[in-house]
Amino acid sequence: MRCTIVPPHMLERVLEGSADPELRALALRTLRLDAATRTERRLAGPVTQGNGRRDEPWRTVKDAMHLEELPGKTVRSEGQDPTGDPVADRAYDWLGATFRFFEDVYDRDSINNAGMEMVSTVHFGREYDNAFWDGAQMVYGDGDGRLFLSFTGPLDVTAHELTHGVTQYTADLAYYGQPGALNESMSDVFGSLVKQHHLGQTADEADWLIGAGLFGPAVRGEALRSLKEPGTAYDDPELGRDPQPGHMDDYVRTHHDNGGVHINSGIPNRAFHLLAAELGGHAWERAGLIWFDALTGGALYPDTDFRGFAAETVRRAAARFGEGSAEHGAVAYAWTAVGVAP
Amino acid sequence: MKVTVVRTGGFAGIKRKGRSDTADDPVLRSLVARVDLAAVRGRASGRRVPDQFSYAIDIDGEAVTVGESDLTGALRELVHHVLDG
């Protein structure tokens, strides 16, 4: 959250109490500037949908003990010592890193912005090659050990799943077709941003991959998806080839995968990367903020499509950074480059 | 009877396909006898769970698509038999 360093009441005291004309002039100018900024903020809407507090996480890790039954047995609650099970302890740590990102960067207090308990169940099933958000909690398999390693491994997997919760409590994008691909893209974008934030990376330092470290050593591929270059993450004799398009011309129409939600998410993913690359620096600060504003700002509907979301990001960029600002122009450019007219 | 199962979605979004024929798969024959696709369709919640697997099952031209949470009983056994067998 942006804060002024010297609070207005202190500047007012300088004005009242100081005889030094230079100091008085400086204080007066700062107050005027501050007031103008506050007016600008009011016009632009709330700075975030946050609560202004620095909140703390409420984490619970459960163990399904290789059954496919939820929620499993609690093995670690908030503040408790490590369990000694590296899988459970990593799930706990990644929930913490994801919580800190949303809280410290966007002032969002957990999944529902009201301090909701974050529950992760680990060791779900046997050789289970998946992780998901079931509407109330996160669930992780250990992988089969050959094609897929444990889904608790990469931080961006946890951040991806938790973001499904954030989406559910905000825009609630339907999990089908274009709204579903947007839902997936939100999880990939913030999944990658959480990792970048954790590593302190700038847009050009980041790998922009989802699921790096998830494949077993024999798989030919670096990750499951690439926001930077959709369609290039893997090409393996057994798993096939990364099917993601990066442009509307290649949009995949299918009834599989809830209308291709994990396929067509490549299009908004690439738009986000183009924006972040254009703006440079830490991607969560400007590009991510615009996306977060759009997702949580209350203007989206469950059936919002790519075009509707693009238009909302353009509006949000203008509201946040000004009409005609570099950010405003870059958002419009990014969507046009992937064939979506905002 | 020809049986095809296509698993899509999941966090990875990687498609997996399996195919078998009851003519040379006696286990499949007994599973098909226990599965009623019309009843599955009627019972399915239709709930879409982010990143859960989606299964398209085709038994001799009769098809149904269900999410993992609706995959229970004999249908679940059939799906795993065709995909992993």
- Please report the pLDDT score of residue B43 as a whole number: 87
**What sign for the dihedral angle of Cα A201, A268, A214, A166?**
positive
CA distance A246 to A305: 16
Q: Minimal Cα distance from A182: which residue of B? A: B50
E-strand stretches of chain A:
59-63, 73-77, 118-122, 131-133, 138-140, 209-210, 225-226, 235-236, 240-241
**What confidence tens digit (pLDDT) does each residue in A209-268 have?**
999 999 999 999 999 999 999 999 999 999 999 999 999 999 999 999 999 999 999 999
When mean pLDDT is compared across A12-26, A54-68, A109-123, the lowest value belongs to: A12-26
Shortest Cα–Cα distance, B67 to chain A (Å): 9
Cα separation of A339 and A323, whole Å?
22
User: Are A193 and A232 spatial neighbours (Cβ–Cβ below 8 Å)?
Assistant: no
Q: What stretch of H or E contains B62? A: strand B62-67
pLDDT of A48 over the 90 cut: no
| Cα gap B68→B76, rounded to integer Å | 9
Token pair recorded at residue A260 = 């291709």
Domains present along chain A, CATH in parentheses: 3-168 (3.10.170.10), 177-337 (1.10.390.10)
What is the predicted pLDDT for the residue at A4? 37
If you compute the radius of gyration of chain B from its CA atoms, what whole number of angstroms results? 12
Which residues partner with B59 through β-bridges?
A: B3, B62
- Separation of alpha carbons A125 and A66, rounded Å: 4
* Residues in chain B, total: 85
- How far apart, in whole angstroms, are the C-alpha atoms of residue A190 and residue A154? 14
CA nearest B54 in A: which residue?
A257
Structure token digits, residue B70: 């609706």
Rounded average pLDDT over A290-317: 98
Please name which of B60, B52, B57, B61 lies closest in space to residue B74, comparing C-alpha atoms. Answer: B57
**Average pLDDT value for chain B:** 94
Give the per-residue pLDDT at A46.
42
Q: Which chain A residues are within 8 Å of B6, Cβ to Cβ? A: 256
Whether the Cβ atoms of residue A125 and residue A141 lie closer than 8 Å to each other: yes
pLDDT at B18: 97
- Across the interface, whether the CB atoms of A211 and B11 are under 8 A apart is answered yes
At A98, is the pLDDT very low, low, confident or very high (cuts 50, 70, 90)?
very high
Nearest by CB: A263 against B13, B52, B69: B13
Chain B residues closer than 8 Å to A151 by CB: 11
Chain B CB within 8 Å of residue A258 CB: yes
A169 inside 8 A of chain B by CB: no
A187: chain B residues, CB-CB within 8 Å: 50
Interface-testing mutation among A150, A235, A262, A269, with chain B (most B C-beta atoms within 10 A): A262
Q: Is the pLDDT of residue A14 over 80?
A: no
Residue A47, class by beta-carbon neighbours within 10 Å (0-12 exposed, 13-18 middle, 19+ buried)?
middle
**A262 part of the active site:** yes
Residue A17's pLDDT is 52
Q: Quick one: which H or E segment has residue A24?
A: helix A21-43
Among residues of chain A, what percentage have pLDDT more than 70? 86
A1 or A30, greater pLDDT: A30
Looking at residue A144, what is its pLDDT?
Answer: 97
For A156-201, write each residue's pLDDT tens digit. 999 999 999 999 999 999 999 999 999 999 999 999 999 999 999 9
What ipTM did this prediction achieve? 0.94
The residue in chain A having the minimum alpha-carbon distance to the alpha carbon of residue B57 is: A256
Mean pLDDT, residues A91-109 taken together: 98
Please spell the DSSP secondary structure of A117-129, one letter per residue.
PEEEEES-SSS--
Of A148, A224, A257, the CB nearest to B54: A257
Q: What is the pLDDT of residues A129-147, one digit of tens each?
A: 999 999 999 999 999 999 9
Strand partners, A132: A139
Average the pLDDT over B61-73 and give the result: 92
Q: Is B83 on the interface with A (CB under 8 A)?
A: no
**Residue among B83, B82, B84, B71 at smallest CA distance from B25:** B82
Angle separating helix axes A287-296 and A306-321, nearest 10 degrees = 120
Residue in chain B closest to A238 (alpha carbons) equals B16
Element holding B3 (H helix, E strand) = strand B2-9
Least Cα separation, residue B48 to chain A (angstroms): 6
Range of weakest confidence among A1-15, A247-261, A325-339: A1-15
Listed in sequence order, the DSSP H helices in A200-325 are: 257-264, 266-279, 287-296, 306-321
> Which of B 27-66 lie inside 8 A of A, CB atoms?
48-54, 56, 65
Average pLDDT over all residues of chain A: 90
Residue A142 and residue A87 in contact, taking contact as beta carbons nearer than 8 Å: yes
Query: What is the model's pLDDT at position A7?
Result: 44
C-alpha distance from residue A210 to each of A148, A160, A187 (Å): 14, 9, 10
Q: What is the pLDDT of residue A51?
A: 80
A117 counts as catalytic: no
Q: Are A93 and A80 in contact (CB under 8 A)?
A: no
Judge whether residue A22 has pLDDT over 70: no
Write the residue in A132, A148, A256 that is nearest to B51 by C-beta.
A132
Alpha-carbon distance of A209 to A226, in angstroms, equals 5
Is the pLDDT assigned to residue A26 strictly greater than 70?
A: no
Q: What's the pLDDT at A18?
A: 55
